[in-house]
Amino acid sequence: KQAAAVSSRMQGDRLLRQLNAELLDLQRRGRAHLASKKGPTAAEGVTAEARGRAMALVAEVLLGATEAVLADLRGAAVASTSKEEAFEASISRHFAFVVTAGAGLAAPFDLRAQLVRLAALLDARSLLGSLEVQARGRLAASCSGDARLLAALERGFYPL
């Protein structure tokens, strides 16, 4: 009975991986088709108001993640792990949706990851600026020049 359950689970996993690969290929072909068309692209057809709303939502999500990391950092002084390890783990945990947005998933479940994908499509430069200058900069300022915390910040932000 357990072997049948394992076999069923393995088959389900294979089918999900196959479906994801097919959806990624379909998305790639759709993007290539849109890029080959003359006229405005999908991103260019978005109104300034809609673009602003989408970027504002992403900014809120990034701010929330930054605030959560800062709250964890303040609490790390009493934690059993080192402050650097706790800081790096907190960055990984609270910004995981950014990594998910760039992962090989056709449709991530996390709405925050979907927002990051949308922002990358609409204005990748602004998204990178928000991550690098605002989120990372604010976290770096909280390190108070501590080289170990700054190194942990770099390690935590590297996958992003």
The pLDDT value recorded for residue 142 is: 92
Place of tokens 């290539």: 32
What's the rounded mean pLDDT across residues 47-57?
91
Residue 98 in this model has a pLDDT that exceeds 60: yes
How far is the C-alpha of 104 from the C-alpha of 19, rounded, in Å?
Answer: 12
Residue 40 in this model has a pLDDT that exceeds 60: no
pLDDT tens digits, one per residue of 119-139: 988 888 999 999 999 999 999
